[in-house]
Amino acid sequence: MGYSTMVLGMGFDQPRNSVNQVVEYLKKNNFQTESEIQENVWGYYRNETWLSNKKFADLLRRGLAKGLYYRVKHRKGRSQYVYFIIPENN
C-alpha cells in the first residue's frame, strides 16, 4: 500500500475488491462496459480522479482469464467492449 492511499484514508480497514463482486453485479446487470462496472461495483470514476485505473483493470482481466465472465467487442459510447456472463441453466 502506497503513501497516497494511507493519506486518503484508504488504509488496512478497507474491504478487498474481488472478481466475485463483478460476477454478482453482472448477474443482475449483464452487458456492461468497463467504466460502468468500475463505477457501480467499486465506486471508481476513472474520468474524475487522478488515482490509477490499473488495479481495477487487472481485476477485470483476472476474471476474464478465470472464465468467470466474458467480453465482446461492441461500441457503446466511447467504450469498445462490454462484459457479460452466460446464465446458468438451473
Confidence of residue 14 (pLDDT cuts 50, 70, 90): low
pTM: 0.73
Residue scoring higher pLDDT (90 or 57): 57
* pLDDT at residue number 5: 52
Contacts of 34 (CB under 8 A, 6+ apart): 57, 60, 79, 81, 83
Domains observed in the chain: 16-84 (1.10.10.10)
Please check the confidence at residue 13 and state whether its pLDDT lies above 70: no
Helix (H) or strand (E) holding 82: strand 79-84
Q: What's 60's DSSP letter?
A: H
Higher per-residue confidence, 76 vs 36 = 36
pLDDT at 28: 93
Q: Which amino acid is at 4?
A: S
